[in-house]
A = this chain, B = another copy of it.
Amino acid sequence: MARRSKADAEKTREQLMDVATWLFESKGYADTSVNEICEALDITKGALFHHFKSKEGLFLAVWTRLQTEMDNEARAAAIAARSRTDPYSAFLAGCRVYLKYATRREYQKIVLVDGPAILGIQGWYERDHDLGTQNVHAGVRYLSKKGIVAEHRVDALAVMLQSALNGAGFALSREEEGVSAESVYDAFEQMVKALR
């Protein structure tokens, strides 16, 4: 067999990303071979390298898809809450969504762990800027405009809060003693409140 329809092509492309996502999560990027990915779909490497220019290219596609999904959900939650409650609670609603992702093994391994190592610190930052960082930054800046946090602390606070959520996500997923969702929310809120 050779060429299939365009619909089939799009299907195999997404199947590749699905399988890659699963394997990258369970075994890690380095310990996952392209052969392995192809065998799971009963296709050959020719197909994979037709859809993606390299193994890193496939990873980047997976990474982007996951980040975009998170970004959309977090942004939607924050905007929805903004119309109902105060800006402070709206910001927390967005952070809640992000924290949910940061506790998922998928997101941890692909976005938080393997991502920086493969894309490089610089590349990771540039790509994350549009999807992760900017959201938090905009949220904090919004709080600043509403007088919730001091203006000169906005930038430093943004990077620290995002990282704090990452760490909390890891701690939650490993079910570390003394670390519960409630205690994290509580501590996080206190930290934000302190910055006026």
Interface residues, chain A, with chain B CB atoms under 8 Å away: 28-30, 108-109, 113-114, 116-118, 120-122, 125, 152-157, 159-168, 170-171, 174, 176-180, 183-184, 186-188, 190-191, 193-195
Contact = CB atoms under 8 A, between A and B. Distances in A.
How many copies of this chain does one complex carry?
Answer: 2
A143 B113 CA distance: 31
A163 B153 contact: no
Given A30-B117, A194-B190, A194-B194, A176 B155 contact: yes
Contacts of A180: 156
Contact of A187 (B170, B171, B195): B195
A155 B181 CA distance: 12
B113 A121 contact: yes
B163 A168 contact: yes
A176 B191 contact: no
A8 B178 CA distance: 49
Nearest to A108: B121
